[in-house]
Amino acid sequence: MKTYKNIYDKLCMMNNLANAWRKARKGKTKKDYVIGFEKSIRENLLNLRKELINQTYKPKLLITFIIRDPKTRKISKSDFRDRIVHHALIRIIEPLFDKIFIYDSCANRKNKGTLFALKRFDKFRRKVTNNLHSEAFCLKADIKHYFPNVNNEILLNILNRRISDEKVIWLIKQILANSPNNLSNKQAKTGMPLGNLTSQFFANVYLNELDYFVKYELKIKYYLRYVDDFVILHKSREQLEIWKQQIDRFLNEKLKLELHSQKSKIISLERGIDFVGFRDYWNHKLLRKRSIRRMLFTINKYKYREINSEKLLESFQGWQAYAKWADSYNLRIKLKEQL
């Protein structure tokens, strides 16, 4: 595998930092912290560049809070200047890794995403069932507590195989150490904060090891992964059970992870499969109830004046664009009437 060195200078270039700032501010230009940073934008970017070049850069402590939408999640928010650094880093290293990711790794990648995953799942299902004429099964799997349990030492070893620039690795260590799991120990052990751009990218890097095991060692044909959720389709339930045990063993031994025992099941494709927010049946798709509850939750927040009409409309338009891929016309009309 090709390794890359002497890339830290590119990361620190003013042009890269300026582009990273533009990415970080997108959709947040009215936020006070963005406005404050941009009052002295050139000076702030130059100071950030100096800290990176001198390797004196230290990220500020994360702000951690709980959101309920309606599922309860702990989100860790980085300071705006740190988000600029995240974008600057990802702009440089993402192209180096994306070219080695498998085709069917769907999340947080250009020209991939939910719609891509839905189309690939439908194609796989038709192939494995002889165009819906024969029975087949799906291993629908979920990794237990994925983000909090990522082993940072293993992650760094994986990154080192591709990046031989010690300064880039130093910067990554600074980011990984700034985790809710590691506040009392600056030597990062486990976990990545949910909410960081870098965490989304590192999630794919880490599970690329699983992807290669599945595709090149087990030689599984119909495999599709979206972050820590993945599906495998096959005609034989027994074969899926064997693969499930092999994958669980690999995750435990190589990545210090495990499959979620309650959420990792082998299901007949005729029953419908929950994947990327939809319940996918042979002849139709339904939105998962959680997605509907999330939109109703947002509407109620507006009714109780917790958000304004602009925020409500923005949320509904995004949800509607997503929901249209399911058989949801009547539902969308009904919810629109509540706005």
Q: What is the pLDDT of residues 240-278, one digit of tens each?
A: 999 999 999 999 999 999 999 999 999 999 999 999 999
pLDDT digits (tens, 9 = 90+) for 12-70: 999 999 999 999 999 899 999 999 999 999 999 999 999 999 999 999 999 888 877 65
* Percent of the chain predicted with pLDDT > 70: 96
pLDDT at 4 over 70: yes
One-letter amino acid of 192: M
pLDDT digits (tens, 9 = 90+) for 112-158: 999 999 999 999 999 999 999 999 999 999 999 999 999 999 999 99
Are 62 and 78 contacting, i.e. CB atoms less than 8 angstroms apart? yes
pLDDT digits (tens, 9 = 90+) for 277-303: 999 998 889 999 888 998 999 999 999
Q: Compute the distance between CA of residue 200 and CA of residue 195 in angstroms, rounded to an integer.
A: 8
For β-strands 278-280 and 285-287, DSSP reports them as: antiparallel
Q: How far is C-alpha 245 from the chain's CA centre?
A: 25
**pLDDT bucket at 182, cuts 50 / 70 / 90:** low
Residue (of 265, 287, 147) closest to 203 by Cα position: 147
What 8-state DSSP symbol labels residue 216? I
Alpha-carbon torsion, ordered 159, 106, 24, 70, to 10 deg:
-120
What 8-state DSSP symbol labels residue 228? T
Q: Compute the distance between CA of residue 178 and CA of residue 292 in angstroms, rounded to an integer.
A: 34
* Percent of the chain predicted with pLDDT > 90: 81
**pLDDT bucket at 195, cuts 50 / 70 / 90:** confident
Q: Compute the distance between CA of residue 39 and CA of residue 253 in angstroms, rounded to an integer.
A: 50
Mean pLDDT, residues 176-189 taken together:
63
Whole-number pLDDT of residue 324: 93
pLDDT digits (tens, 9 = 90+) for 199-217: 999 999 999 999 999 999 9
- The first and second tokens of residue 103, run together, are 């085709």
- Say whether pTM exceeds 0.85: yes
Mean pLDDT, residues 167-191 taken together:
77
Whole-number pLDDT of residue 186: 45
Whole-number pLDDT of residue 279: 92
pLDDT digits (tens, 9 = 90+) for 218-243: 999 999 999 999 999 999 999 999 99
Q: Compute the distance between CA of residue 154 and CA of residue 175 in angstroms, rounded to an integer.
A: 15
Mean pLDDT, residues 303-328 taken together:
92
